[in-house]
Amino acid sequence: MTLEFFLVESFSHEDAKAQRNTSKLKKLCVPLCLHVFVAKFLLSQNIIYLKTIFNRLSMEKLSINRRSFISQLSMSAGGLILSQKLHLLKEQPRKLGIALVGLGGYSANQLGPALKQTQYCKLAGVVTGSKAKGEQWAKDYGFPEKNIYTYDTMSQLAGNSDIDIVYVVTPNGLHAEHAIAAAKAGKHVICEKPMATTVAECDAIIDACHAANVKLSIGYRLHFDPYHQELMRLAKEKDFGLLKKMNGDRGFVMGSKAWRADKKLAGGGPLMDLGIYLVHGACMGANGVAPLAVTAKYHTKTRPDIFSDVEEGISWTMEFPGGSIADLQTSYEHTKDYFKAEGAKGWIEFKEHAFTYRGLVVETSRGPLNFTPPNQQALQMDDFAQCVQLNKQSRVPGELGKRDVIIIRAIYNAAEAGNKVLVKV
């Protein structure tokens, strides 16, 4: 299409006055033809914008002068170039490189496979204590062996431009050490839950990321799950009224002593590992607000040989502003994954796999929910990669991880003291 065509087509239905102005405009445009054709050559798919300008000029009865026309034209060309660039960015994003620290169950079964589905990031390296494991991962995921590090060589990540983000997936008691090492190497950090075993460690991670000017996010994948997003929406919009009554139970049977029953590495028993989901879920049900106070009671140990220095099970109550109450329990002695929140006008019940990756069965007082289950981890890591690309804060930042560790420590204090403990977030 030529510029002439635009002029004719754009102005053919206008009144006589507009047509007189059209010929004025034609004269004005001739010296600009070359300019326009260069723009058209570069941006041929978007030429429709030029037509829009001429139409607008016509409708405004051509109250233009040469300067404003040129200015509109160049703004349009600038807009076209920007739109072209955004289009390219959308179609061909640079995938950021992620290095997983710790190649245990969660990395191998969830995060690695999810990184084959991500659009904005990919697995580019690993940090592991096992050379053979690292080499196998390099083969499976197609990254060079130079991108395999040990826990002792994490500082060398600094010189590796293949790796933008370090994802800490080691036992809880090592999160602070590994997250801080990653930040010091200048890498953005994702840290698994619980963020750390103490509030002081959470602060140290946040401070290290701040000092290194890198972003920090916690592996709270359920913020990317549609059922949990619905819980957040219900809480925010008070669709069922204030969710005043919540209850939940999460547990699995741990058969032998592992790091999860080692206080130094785990920071506690099932409350640190599984109960954290209930703590977080109840705060979602309270519209993102932390409880004012907690009470708690340890369960009687049935296998004190395994649970010699951590609890085997614990029940606790969270009291939220506005009067909402959450009665929750977690255990390594029975298997359960359940959560319910009720308001005066309705309820939402996570009947099965409430906090798991898939297979969630969720009903409300209005009927069952049937969302298409996404890959939570892929969405979570893609979201963080986009936060890094666009310089945005993660929706699951370090401060959220720290909030939960503060609540968990208050629950332990309440169980130890046998009293209500105020939560100071």
Name the residues that contact ligand NAD, by CB under 6 A.
102-107, 129, 169-172, 174, 192-193, 219, 221, 259, 265, 273
Closer of 39 and 396 to ligand NAD (Cβ): 396
CB of residue 209 to ligand NAD, shortest distance in Å: 18
Nearer to ligand NAD, 97 or 267 (CB): 267
**What single DSSP character describes residue 372?**
P
- The residue sitting closest to ligand NAD, measured at its beta carbon, is 104
Q: Which is nearer to ligand NAD, 219 or 397 (CB)?
A: 219
- Distance separating alpha carbons of residues 21 and 19, to the nearest angstrom: 5
Which residues face 191 on adjacent strands? 168, 218
Q: Nearer Cβ to ligand NAD, position 277 or 307?
A: 277
Task: Assess whether 193 carries a catalytic annotation.
Answer: yes
> Residue 117's CB: how many other CB atoms inside 10 A?
13
* CB contact at 8 A, 422 and 293: yes
Sheet-wide strand order for 313-319: 367-369, 361-364, 346-352, 336-343, 245-251, 325-331, 313-319, 293-298, 421-422
> Minimal distance in Å, beta carbon 103 to ligand NAD?
5
CB nearer to ligand NAD: give 347 or 357.
Answer: 357
For residue 24, indicate whether it is catalytic: no
Q: Which residues of 294-330 are buried (b: 16+ CB within 10 A; e: fewer)?
A: bbbebbebebeebbeebbbbbbbbbbbeeebebbbbb
Q: Which of 277, 332, 338, 412 is catalytic?
A: 277
Q: How far apart are CA 169 and CA 109, in angstroms?
A: 12
207 Cβ contact partners less than 8 Å away, ≥ 6 residues apart:
none
Q: Is 296 helix (H, G, I), strand (E, B) or coil?
A: strand
Q: Give the nearest distance from C-beta 222 to ligand NAD in angstroms.
A: 8
Q: Which is the catalytic residue, given 40, 187, 193, 340? A: 193
Question: Nearest distance from residue 268's CB to ligand NAD, in Å?
Answer: 11
CB-facing half-sphere around the CA of 13: CA atoms within 13 A: 4
Q: How far is the CB of 322 from ligand NAD (least distance, A)?
A: 29
Element (H, E) at 293: strand 293-298
174/379 with CB nearer ligand NAD: 174
Minimum distance of ligand NAD from residue 100's CB (angstroms): 9
Which residues participate in catalysis according to the annotation? 193, 277
